[in-house]
Amino acid sequence: MEPENHKIRVDVDTTYLEEQSSPHERRYVFSYTITIRNEGSVPARLLTRHWIITDSNGKVQEVRGEGVVGEQPYLKPGQGFRYSSGAVLETPVGAMQGSYQMVADDGAQFDAPIAAFRLAMPGLLH
């Protein structure tokens, strides 16, 4: 089996920001730190992002944009890029998922999927 040319791994850590949240105003603020790693054999650049953010009322926010935190990181095989961002929900629990649109040095364009992850205020889930 030949090595995968285009393989981007995405890891996510989330934190509830209590000091920025105000539950009585239905404002729940979360930060997330994402590590993107090129596990393929071809260098690739992150061009755009696409997020789907869903709260527990079923309200969906869709976010599209260029790059991440104002950058379009270029990742050689084995290289990683880490950044932090945030999301604001109207409910104490929600989820995010999406993809990064990548272009590789060999000209291939491909999506790096971001598996769904939970945003949850601590102490709610047992």
- Domains of the chain, CATH where assigned: 8-120 (2.60.40.1470)
How many CB atoms within 10 Å of residue 57?
11
Query: In this predicted structure, what is the pLDDT of residue 2?
Result: 56
Query: In this predicted structure, what is the pLDDT of residue 71?
Result: 97
Nearest Cα residue to 56 out of 96, 19, 107: 96
Q: What is the pLDDT along the chain (126 residues), one digit of tens a residue?
A: 556 899 999 999 999 999 999 999 999 999 999 999 999 999 999 999 999 999 999 999 999 999 999 999 999 999 999 999 999 999 999 999 999 999 999 999 999 999 999 999 998 655
pTM as predicted: 0.91
Q: Cβ(34)–Cβ(22) under 8 Å? A: no
Query: In this predicted structure, what is the pLDDT of residue 27?
Result: 97
The backbone torsions φ and ψ at residue 25, rounded to the nearest 5 degrees and listed phi first, read -100, 15
